[in-house]
Amino acid sequence: MPYPGYTFLALMLAALIAGAASAPSAQAQAPRPGQLAPGPGQPAQAQPPGQPGQAAPEGQARQPAPPKPYKPVAVTLAQPSSDSSFAAFRKQLADIASRKDRAALARLVVGTFFWMGERGDKADKKKSGIDNLAAAIDLDAKDGSGWEALTAAANEASLEPVPERKGIMCSPASPKFDEMAADQVAKDTGTDPSEWGYPTKGAVEVHAAAQANAPVIEKLGMHLVRVMPEQPAAGAPEKEMPFIRVVAPSGKVGFVAEEFISSLDSDQLCYIKEATGWKIAGYAGNN
């Protein structure tokens, strides 16, 4: 049986839509579209005592297993959609996001907007589609992060279908890899899905320190990569931490520019192609 956390996000969404409730997760809150999951990509919180690689009591994060070598699991990146109308829609969405035009955005959101989380549909059926979308991505955040998330989603060209919901396509699409092999690597390393990602390109450099000019100790191929929680220096702003700590298949620990690593646990924005064009149909994530 494949490691449950490696199931493609669209299939997870399909299960939720079909009414299957997934078990509570010890992972951190999932990200907005286009962002890394806080678990592998963001600074870790203080870890309570516990055995590495084992589930911690509910409400507590478990301690990560120590770094060790692992067998690379090849990853094939999702390809951009070939639908020219979707490309035009994404351009329109990016323009709306750049202007923060809520009224224009509202016209692109279906009234039956869904918001799938671990416990089912969180959308408030008494509210409009745009209001539910705004709640899902925190569109009204004072720091503009909601609009930034929408811009990131507009820049994502890959799509994958949701089998249980006809016509729904979600983005970003999941990469392809051998789930049985991923299952074995997870068992061998005592890890869970929140600790794994994949490179966005080949030959990503792993540095000895969190600096672009630090020595390169290894280069990553197109395979799953273990990501370790990294605690920022006291008082260091998050924006000054553009690197994440990874474990290479050799077992070496180093740092990679976070823009080159994507999470297996990203949220998805979902769409439907109607007679009048593409519309935003829903959101899949744990927000």
**Structure confidence by residue, pLDDT tens digits, 264-285:** 777 899 999 999 999 999 998 7
Quote the pLDDT of residue 285. Answer: 78
User: Left (φ > 0), alpha (ψ -120 to 50) or beta: where does 251 sit?
Assistant: left
Quote the pLDDT of residue 60. Answer: 58
Q: Out of 52-56, 82-86, 167-171, pick the least confident.
A: 52-56
Quote the pLDDT of residue 218. Answer: 93
Close Cβ partners of 10 (under 8 Å, ≥ 6 residues apart)? 160, 161, 162, 163, 170, 173, 174, 268, 284
Instruction: Name the strand (E) or helix (H) holding 253.
Output: strand 253-257
**Structure confidence by residue, pLDDT tens digits, 143-166:** 999 999 999 999 999 999 988 788
Residue 135 has pLDDT above 90, yes or no: yes
Q: Which residues of 227-250 are buried (b: 16+ CB within 10 A; e: fewer)?
A: bbbbeeeeeeeeeebebbbbbbbe
Q: At 121, is the pLDDT very low, low, confident or very high (cuts 50, 70, 90)?
A: confident
Quote the pLDDT of residue 57. Answer: 54
Instruction: Name the strand (E) or helix (H) holding 182.
Output: helix 179-189
Q: Once rounded to an integer, what is the mean pLDDT over residues 108-130?
A: 89
Quote the pLDDT of residue 231. Answer: 58
**Structure confidence by residue, pLDDT tens digits, 175-189:** 999 999 999 999 999
Q: At 62, is the pLDDT very low, low, confident or very high (cuts 50, 70, 90)?
A: low
Residue 212 has pLDDT above 70, yes or no: yes
Residue 203 has pLDDT above 70, yes or no: yes
